[in-house]
Amino acid sequence: MPIISSTDLLAILPTAFVVVWACTLLLVDVFAGAGGKRLTPWLAALGLLAALVLSVRGGGLEQTAFNGMLEVDGFSHAINALVLGSGLLAVLLSVDYLRQHGIAKGEYYVMLLFSISGVMLMGAAADLIVVFLSIELLSIPLYILAAFAQPDPKSEEAGLKYFLLGAFAGAFLLYGVALVYGATASTRLSEITAAVAAGLENPIFLLLGAALILIGFGFKVAAAPFHMWTPDVYEGAPTPVTAFMAVGAKVGGFAALLRVFIVAFPSLGADLAPVLIGVVAATLIIGNVAAIAQNNIKRLLAYSSISHAGFILMAFVPYADDAVYRDTLAAALFYLLAFAVTSFGSWAVVMALEKAEGKGLELQDYAGLFRRHPGLAVAMFVFMLSFIGVPPTLGFAGKFYLFRAVLEGGYVGLAVLGVLTSLVSAYYYLRVVVVMFMQDGKPQAQASPLLNLATAVTAVGTVALFFFSQPLLDWAAGAFLRLF
């Protein structure tokens, strides 16, 4: 019997295609002339589009692969769709930005594709060893991409900080895996559940291991108090990398977090609930309060990203409550989608105004934007409203479903905290709007056709998809049908 069967390969076909395509792009970039190098971003986009088609066509495929180490189901297909769509938007944002800033190199897209493949594996990982390896596959290319604008010292600093703190978080994760293995004699998620059901000799090892794994995931999703890398890395990294990092790393981190804790640690729900509530409260408060003091738009959006991680984690608190878990987790996945669309749009506007050497990134650089570039100003206005949660935007639908699910789970205090911190966020988001519409200035935008396309698509999507919120929520709920 072959070690790897055809059904195993079919199960990971979209992920394998992305990896093979990345390797092919690397060869094209090395051996092709100048004309071939200019095709690299378009080939990357074509590969991501093809992988998305493969994933959608295989949407009904549900199976266990590689002797139970991967689980292909509705959840993994949903994560694939999210990250591949995010990758396409990241390529659109990158093409002209890299050229304008003199860092257009083919290996950028190779690293991007490898990172995307890591997220795809995280969505299907059914073994803690695969979770760790897929996190490294996601992270190592991002360390390189964060420092891609070298010799810019801020970019080099961003790459170094991300690498050091990522390695530190990886150590927590790996130590947690070791403790879980010591408690259950397995790293397979389903076997961990079976071992817990049969009774453990050292249940404290399991709890400590789960807590350390939670710390590792907390770093990936930028939850407090593991968020300290986020503002500096977001500010120093090339802006298209920051845009993908804000979405892609969160999608991957939450994909692994949801699958691992729902499948392997449902028995620890009551023990971990106070810890999760503390993390959510700290993330919401720190992210929103710290954002108020920011005058740099990249740092402001970095703290904003931290706060949105808190909102998503809010839905994760009752993950072991059989009565509400599917509603809360569907709300979390829907919120991830809303955040992805809105976040990419806001970063597209930031790129349109960004100049070389980090100029054009202060809030005052947006003064008078509505008078000189009304399209960009209106789009940014839509994104800010969505971040706050004002109808009719995806952000409003995301927060509505999220608060409803949390209230149904009995966590009234968390819902109240979410509403109050949303009100705090309105201050700094509307501050951007006031500067754009009510202050005088002469902002110089360098929006390219591709950047304009990405901005328009995300702005229209932020509003238009609001009217399809219920079908999208049903899709998110369907992704969890086989996860329990």
The reported pLDDT for the residue numbered 357 is 56
Q: What is the mean pLDDT of each run of 10 residues along the chain (484 residues)?
A: 68 90 89 73 93 83 84 88 93 89 87 94 92 93 91 88 90 94 90 86 87 91 86 90 91 90 84 89 94 92 93 83 73 92 94 75 89 92 95 93 87 91 94 92 80 92 94 85 56
Contact of 120 with 15, CB cutoff 8 Å: yes
> Which residues in 449-482 are b (16+ Cβ under 10 Å) and which e?
ebbbebbebbbebbeebbeebeebbebbbbbbee
What is the Cα–Cα distance from 146 to 14, expressed in whole angstroms?
Answer: 26
Where exactly are the structural domains of the chain? 1-170+224-264, 265-484
Written in H, E and C, the secondary structure of the chain is CCCCCHHHHHHCHHHHHHHHHHHHHHHHHHHCCHHHHHCHHHHHHHHHHHHHHHHHHCCCCCEEECCCCEEECHHHHHHHHHHHHHHHHHHHHHHHHHHHCCCCCCHHHHHHHHHHHHHHHHHHECEHHHHHHHHHHHHHHHHHHHCCCCCCHHHHHHHHHHHHHHHHHHHHHHHHHHHHHHHHCCCEHHHHHHHHHHCCCCHHHHHHHHHHHHHHHHHHHCCCCCCCCHHHHHHHCCHHHHHHHHHHHHHHHHHHHHHHHHHHCHHHHHHHHHHHHHHHHHHHHHHHHHHHCCCEHHHHHHHHHHHHHHHHHHHHCCCCCCCCHHHHHHHHHHHHHHHHHHHHHHHHHHHHHCCHHHCCCEHHHHCCHHHHCHHHHHHHHHHHHHHHCCCCCHHHHHHHHHHHHHHHCCCHHHHHHHHHHHHHHHHHHHHHHHHHHHCCCCCCCCCCHHHHHHHHHHHHHHHHHHHHHHHHHHHHHHCCCCCC
